[in-house]
Amino acid sequence: MTVTEQESGPEGSDDEGDMPGAGGALYTPSPRRLERERHRRARARRATAIAALSTLVTGVVLYFVVVSAPGWPRTKETFFNGQYAREALPKVLEGLWLNVRLLLVCGVAVLVLGMLIAVARTLRGPVFFPLRALAAAYTDFFRGLPLIINLMIVVLGVPALRLQGVTVDPVWLGGTALTLTYSAYVAEVFRAGIESVHPSQRAAARSLGLSNRQALRYVVLPQAVRRQVPPLLNDLVSLQKDTGLVSIGGAIDAVRAADIIVGRSLNYTPYIVAGLVFVALTIPMTRFTDWVTARMDRRRAQGGTT
């Protein structure tokens, strides 16, 4: 094939001139391709400009709606006071360290306990029926029980029993309540992942000489966990926010630190500060979850492994 023939390409081709020639040199893109790329860039710039303008207009409208409300001056003084915000921020950040530690410890405990419950619910054979029934009862109960009630029962009820050797620390008791509730949700996420693995995978593992336990550990669970990463990360985001509920037992976390200042000043700005701190901590985790989800969707669309 001559150079002229390669440059012309098939009639009507949009990518003519892109292919390397016989000598390995890359030819410049065709005018049609260059025009198409310019059109795409122009359309992207136009879409970005429209989105920015729409966001600006919406923000301005909302601002004037809020500040023109009759009660705005009083609301601003009560919820957006700069003096109380500066006073609350260091104490809220100090209390936030407790929330972060609870997130790390409870997150690991929830993953381990949730995995054990999920595996118990997927065990086969009549001999494991009592274990399956207990696991199902656990998930049904703690998924139906409101978290705030669970926290009150554990944080306030356990110390009332006066059990020897059982801690009465509200941090540990609050973390236990969080673990009990979230492990039920995570167990269902893991169980869905396990059941999504095709039975042929287990059968192939058994045909290679692996036992049922080995097939579950080395073949089924790795695929199940990989497929359920996005919902697991979403549960982790929810757990991060709900660590603030341990304050009902008296633990000095970010929410409790704000509550102390509010009780002394009767100004609610510290609550706004605590809320913004939690939002700032949650947004990176949320964006990371979205990135992981989009990445896995692209891999599935391309035919890759999930």
Structure tokens of 21? 């020639």
Of 24-33, 252-261, 267-276, minimum mean pLDDT range: 24-33
> Which residue, among 84, 2, 101, 77, has the nearest Cα to 263 in the 3D structure?
84
Domains and CATH numbers, the chain: 17-56 (no CATH), 101-246 (1.10.3720.10)
Percentage of residues of the chain with pLDDT beyond 90:
41
User: Is residue 187 pLDDT above 50, yes or no?
Assistant: yes
Mean pLDDT of 157-161: 88
Q: How far apart are CA 240 and CA 145, in angstroms?
A: 19
Q: Give Cα 216 to chain centroid, integer Å.
A: 26
Instruction: Specify the pLDDT at position 303.
Output: 61
Sequence-ordered list of residues with C-beta below 8 angstroms from that of 221, at least 6 positions apart, any chain: 115, 119, 194
Per-residue exposure over 168-183, b if at least 16 CB sit within 10 Å of its own CB, e if not:
eebbbbbbbbbbbbbb
Of 42-51, 121-130, 137-146, minimum mean pLDDT range: 121-130
Maximum Cα–Cα distance across the chain: 92
Structure tokens of 204? 């192939």
Mean pLDDT of 26-32: 76
For residue range 197-239, what is the model confidence (pLDDT) as tens digits? 888 887 888 888 888 778 888 888 888 878 788 888 888 889 9
Per-residue exposure over 113-135, b if at least 16 CB sit within 10 Å of its own CB, e if not:
bbbebbbbbbeeeeeeeeebeeb
Mean pLDDT of 119-137: 88
Q: How far apart are CA 29 and CA 26, in angstroms?
A: 9
Instruction: Specify the pLDDT at position 2.
Output: 45
Q: How far apart are CA 56 and CA 95, in angstroms?
A: 35
Start-to-end Cα distance in the chain: 42
8: pLDDT confidence band, cut at 50, 70 and 90?
A: very low
Q: Give Cα 24 to chain centroid, integer Å.
A: 47
Percentage of residues of the chain with pLDDT beyond 70:
89
26: pLDDT confidence band, cut at 50, 70 and 90?
A: low
Instruction: Specify the pLDDT at position 251.
Output: 84
Which residues is 26 bridged to in the sheet? 20
Q: Determine the Cα angle at 180 with ends 246 and 124, to 5°.
A: 165
Per-residue exposure over 261-275, b if at least 16 CB sit within 10 Å of its own CB, e if not:
bbeeeebbbbbbbbb
